[in-house]
Amino acid sequence: MPSSKKSAEPTTVNIEELIRRLEEISRRIENPETGLENSISLYQEGMALAEECRQRLQETRKKLETINPELSRNRPENDLPKDLFSQEG
């Protein structure tokens, strides 16, 4: 008997929606009426979303370099853009 489900894969949020949520979190944290406890929860959510964005961008970069190996071969290491979500100083 055929299943009524269209797909077994979970629905994933696209990166644009993740970025919009990060922007919303930032605005809410900046609002003094948000409160400390809520700000901490929002901060934790934001850090998790930022990590998800970093991973997706890293995966996308790898896919692009697989499609076009010249992207990674023609640039010296020092010319590579700094990772936007890197936690290094």
pLDDT tens digits, residue range 36-89? Answer: 999 999 999 999 999 999 999 999 989 988 888 887 776 555 555 566 555 554
65/50 Cα distance (integer angstroms): 22
Contact (Cβ atoms closer than 8 angstroms) between residue 26 and residue 46: yes
What is the extent of the structural domain holding 32?
15-74
- Quick check: is 49 in a domain? yes
Q: How many domains does the chain have?
A: 1
Q: Evaluate if residue 21 carries a pLDDT over 70.
A: yes
- Quick check: is 5 in a domain? no
> Hey, how many other C-beta atoms are within 10 angstroms of the C-beta on 25?
21
- Quick check: is 25 in a domain? yes
What local confidence, expressed as pLDDT, does residue 70 receive?
82
Q: Evaluate if residue 30 carries a pLDDT over 50.
A: yes
- Quick check: is 59 in a domain? yes
Put simply, whether the predicted model's pTM sits higher than 0.85 gets the answer no
